[in-house]
Structures are given as C-alpha cells and as structure tokens.
C-alpha cells in the first residue's frame, strides 16, 4: 500500500491529522494538474492554479463529509472532477450580469475576435453531462484526460480497461463532444 493510499484510508476512517499529511505528498501533482487546466483558460483569468489546487483539496478532504477512496487513482479522478466543477462554477459566476457577464472585454489589438472564451468550458461541461448520462465510462475518461491531464496509459489503468479500449473510447468521446458542442453553438478546443 502506497503512502498516499494509506493516508487516504486514514482520512476515510476519520483520522483528523491524516489530511495534513496528505497535502505535502500530492501537492506537486495537483499543482501540475491545475497548471495544465489554467493554461487552457482564457487570458485575464482571476483564478490562479494555486487557488484551484487549494479549493479542490479542501473539497476532497472535507472532514465533515466521509470520503471513500479506493486508490490513489480514485483520489486523482476525484481531484479532476473537483477542479472541473470549480472552473465551471467560476465561469458561471463570471457570466452573471452582477460580475460583468453581460459585458464583453475586447483588447484593442483583438477587436475583431469577439467570441467569449468562457463559452468553451460551459459548453464542454453541458456536453460532458449529456455524455455521462449516455456513456458514463467515456465521460469519466474525458474527465481524467482533460481535467486531470492523465495520459491514455494512466487513464486506462485508472478505469481498468486496456490501452486499445481507452484509445477507442477517447476517439468516440471526442467526436461525440465535438458534435454536441457544435450543435449547441459553442466552440470546441483541442
């Protein structure tokens, strides 16, 4: 049993000190994942990668809610989901008129590019929710690849499928999401 798995088990059993032991072990990997996610966000983002890591971590080890972690992979899959939700919540918050969502920021040298980059994440989230209802394993694969930044090999291991199956699922899910986002009027980013 790895150190991370042991600590996750201790958190599950209510050890109040285990959460403080976990962060130093997983922080670098979570920071890397958050950095990858934030690199895909629109310029001028107010949420920083460090903030994303901390918020996701707090949601993952909330001592008031009992968490059940089967493995290190399960923990990182949950971290990817938490980061996705935080980014979507942030995009929705920014879209509200109270936060200037009805206004559009246009840089002087980009005056011709008027597409709202926040639409991509919201369109992806909506399409991903639809995919999860129809094909939950493929949706989980997308979350692990896109939000956790896992390779196909790592994703296949977490999902317990062969690499060939993961590649097929990835191709099908990408095509499905592209079609769903295109139909909704959003734009798909690779």
- 8-state DSSP, 128: H
Instruction: For residue 169, give Cα distances in angstroms to 129, 152, 176.
Output: 16, 10, 10
Rounded Cα–Cα distance for residues 87 and 79 (Å): 12
**Tokens 């995919």, located at residue:** 131
Q: Enumerate long-range contacts of 100-109, CB under 8 Å, 24 or more apart.
A: 105/44
- 8-state DSSP, 175: H
Name the more confident of 48 and 189: 48
* Contacts of 178 by beta carbon, 8 Å cutoff, 6+ apart: 188
Rounded Cα–Cα distance for residues 126 and 138 (Å): 15
Q: Per-residue confidence at 30, pLDDT binned at 50, 70, 90?
A: confident
- 8-state DSSP, 96: S
Rounded Cα–Cα distance for residues 170 and 43 (Å): 28
Rounded Cα–Cα distance for residues 182 and 174 (Å): 12
> Considering the entire predicted model, what is its pTM?
0.50
pLDDT score, position 44: 62
Q: With pLDDT > 90 as the criterion, what percentage of the chain qualifies? A: 14
Which pLDDT tens digit goes with each residue over 48-81? Answer: 888 888 888 888 776 566 666 677 777 788 888 8
pLDDT score, position 110: 39
Which pLDDT tens digit goes with each residue over 135-163? Answer: 999 999 988 888 888 888 989 988 999 99
**Helix (H), strand (E) at residue 55:** helix 49-60
**Token pair recorded at residue 19:** 């959460």
Which pLDDT tens digit goes with each residue over 80-136? Answer: 888 888 888 887 887 766 545 554 554 433 333 333 444 467 888 888 899 999 999
**Tokens 């199956």, located at residue:** 165
Which pLDDT tens digit goes with each residue over 14-29? Answer: 777 777 777 777 788 8
């Amino acid at each position: 049993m790895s150190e991370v798995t042991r600590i996750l088990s201790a958190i599950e059993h209510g050890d109040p000190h285990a959460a403080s032991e976990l962060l130093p072990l997983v922080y670098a990997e979570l920071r890397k994942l958050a950095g990858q996610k934030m690199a895909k966000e629109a310029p001028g983002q107010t949420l920083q990668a460090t903030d994303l890591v901390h918020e996701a971590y707090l949601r993952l080890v909330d001592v008031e809610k009992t968490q059940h972690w089967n493995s290190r992979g399960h923990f990182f899959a949950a971290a990817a989901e938490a980061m996705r939700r935080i980014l979507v919540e942030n995009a929705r918050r920014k879209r509200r008129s109270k936060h200037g969502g009805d206004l559009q920021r246009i840089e002087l040298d980009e005056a011709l590019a008027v597409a709202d980059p926040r639409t991509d994440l919201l369109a992806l989230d909506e399409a991903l929710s639809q995919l999860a209802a129809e094909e939950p394993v493929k949706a989980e694969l997308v979350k692990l690849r896109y939000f956790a930044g896992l390779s196909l090999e790592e994703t296949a291991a977490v999902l317990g499928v062969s690499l060939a199956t993961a590649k097929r699922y990835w191709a099908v899910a990408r095509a499905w999401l592209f079609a769903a986002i295109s139909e909704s009027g959003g734009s798909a980013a690779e």
